[in-house]
């Protein structure tokens, strides 16, 4: 295909890349996508999808071992087949990856196996793992969707055996007896939940004052209480000073806010301290856009400082979320080809953590509202008072809604509880449509449902509800 010309060449086929490719093809543009590994990127193959399969199995196992006896159901859980649990998660990922391959064929998107290298704003080389050029194509525009990878802790290098990243955590050959997880953002918290449910002694380390530090404080505090009750050793305000790996395990040296140091012995150390953009080996010197702190800088059209070169998704920085990448990439394609001028609204980004209980949020936290000196009203409703939650035996958590006091506009929504991530869409839509406290409070919600807790939280602002 040497010398072939495209309207758009996309480098990377993750949630940004493959969505952009399909959208461009739907607009009648001749489109190509360069991908060096599996279609779907990290999210589909080694992130969002397989982890959710593991979480579902962990939740099911927890229900059998801890809730089942209360229901009058007793089963033999001694014959846990970890290899089948891992295999099911891989099957889910592989199935969806093949689905993207079908979408590409259906929409006539050309796929180039290999790594993309931008020679000029109108030329992309496809290279193999050794850097040898396999093909060269011309293009009108280029969209970089190369995503991000796990960030290393200074002085601590993953070895894939004792010190691992989230990728290895999904395919461990056996369930470890002990695990230290460094970093209590969404990734760290989800793996803490998974391995604790399967019986691992988990120590969760976070240098910030709370786990899930970007969430509303009430949510973070409640989740920490629940995790501690389940036997997870949660260490906040704690820095990791050193990790020494050996043949049979690792030693982690930690220091708390009072400068007290302790050493924790463990079988596995999981690094979950964040991600950094994949910006290396992508551009010739004359075609390198501005890069700030490992992220490609873009404007509201997702164009870089080099005309014709665009970027979207994790490679341009936070929020590092699959659904953000998909929307950014879609807007980038629509704006570059002049079919839309819409902009990304980062105030409407839903945030979800899929441990159990689930955590979901959109908009401002209470702390952010106070820092902005906003006059607010807050409504809270506990799932313990919700009929559906009682019926399914899952009552931990609450809904917290934050409203502007003068106009009743929804400013933020924060939930911890059963199926919170599924319930969130109602509140994202409400915020997008500038729904008020009364509109949410007096919209009829079916009974019995978990989503009634949203209505009740809105009514609770003025002392209503039940």
The catalytic residues are 447
**Residues 367 and 398 sit within 8 Å (Cβ to Cβ):** no
Look up tokens 């150390």; give the residue.
269
**Residues 192 and 284 sit within 8 Å (Cβ to Cβ):** no
- Please give the backbone phi and psi of residue 423, each rounded to the nearest 5 degrees, phi first: -75, -20
Concatenated DSSP letters of 328-366? HHHHHHHHHTTS------GGG--EEE-SSSEEEEEE--H
Tokens of 179: 């695990």
E strands, 51-170, in order: 110-113, 115-120, 123-127, 133-144, 148-150, 163-164
Within 8 A by CB and 6+ apart from 21, the residues are 8, 10, 13, 31, 32, 33, 104, 107, 109
Other beta carbons within 10 Å of 351: 20
Nearest C-alpha neighbor of 454 from the set 271, 434, 419, 191: 419
Separation of alpha carbons 165 and 222, rounded Å:
27
CA distance to 21, 27, 206, 287, per residue, from 132 (Å): 25, 33, 42, 19
Tokens of 260: 């007290």
């Amino acid at each position: 295909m040497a010398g072939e010309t495209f309207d758009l060449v996309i480098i990377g086929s993750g949630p940004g890349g493959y969505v952009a490719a399909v959208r461009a093809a739907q607009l009648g543009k001749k489109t190509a996508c360069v991908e060096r590994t599996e279609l779907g990127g990290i999210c589909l193959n080694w992130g969002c999808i397989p982890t959710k399969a593991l979480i579902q199995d962990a939740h099911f196992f927890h229900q059998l071992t801890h809730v089942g006896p209360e229901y009058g159901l007793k089963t033999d859980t001694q014959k846990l087949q970890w290899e089948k649990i891992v295999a099911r998660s891989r099957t889910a990922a592989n199935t969806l990856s093949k689905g993207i391959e079908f979408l590409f064929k259906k929409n006539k998107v050309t796929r180039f196996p290999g790594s993309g290298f931008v020679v000029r704003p109108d030329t992309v080389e496809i290279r193999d793992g050794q850097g040898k050029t396999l093909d060269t194509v011309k293009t009108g525009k280029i969209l970089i969707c190369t995503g991000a990878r796990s960030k290393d802790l200074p002085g601590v290098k993953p070895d894939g055996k004792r010190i691992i990243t989230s990728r290895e955590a999904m395919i461990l050959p056996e369930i470890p007896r002990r695990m230290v997880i460094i970093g209590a953002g969404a990734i760290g918290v989800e793996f803490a939940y998974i391995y604790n449910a399967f019986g691992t002694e988990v120590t969760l380390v976070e240098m910030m004052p709370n786990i899930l530090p970007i969430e509303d404080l009430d949510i973070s505090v409640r989740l920490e209480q629940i995790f501690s009750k389940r036997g997870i050793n949660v260490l906040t305000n704690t820095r990791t000073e050193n990790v020494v790996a050996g043949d049979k395990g690792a030693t982690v040296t930690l220091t708390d806010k009072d400068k007290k140091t302790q050493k924790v012995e463990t079988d596995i150390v999981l690094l979950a301290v964040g991600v950094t953009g994949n910006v290396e080996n992508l551009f010739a010197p004359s075609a390198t856009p501005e890069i700030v702190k490992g992220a490609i800088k873009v404007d509201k059209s997702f164009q870089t400082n080099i005309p014709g070169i665009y970027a979207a998704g994790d490679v341009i920085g936070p929020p590092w979320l699959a659904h953000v990448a998909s929307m950014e990439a879609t807007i980038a394609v629509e704006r570059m080809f002049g079919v839309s001028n819409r902009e990304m609204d980062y105030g409407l980004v839903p945030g979800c953590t899929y441990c159990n209980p689930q955590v979901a949020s959109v908009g401002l936290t209470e702390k952010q509202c106070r820092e902005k000196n906003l006059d607010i009203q807050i409504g809270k409703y506990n799932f313990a008072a919700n009929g559906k939650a009682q019926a399914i035996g899952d009552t931990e958590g609450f809904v917290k809604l934050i409203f502007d006091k003068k106009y009743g506009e929804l400013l933020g929504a924060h939930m911890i509880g059963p199926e919170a991530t599924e319930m969130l869409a109602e509140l994202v839509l409400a915020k997008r449509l500038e729904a008020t406290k009364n509109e949410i409070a007096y919209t009829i919600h079916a009974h019995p449902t978990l989503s009634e807790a949203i209505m009740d939280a809105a009514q609770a602002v003025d002392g209503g509800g039940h």
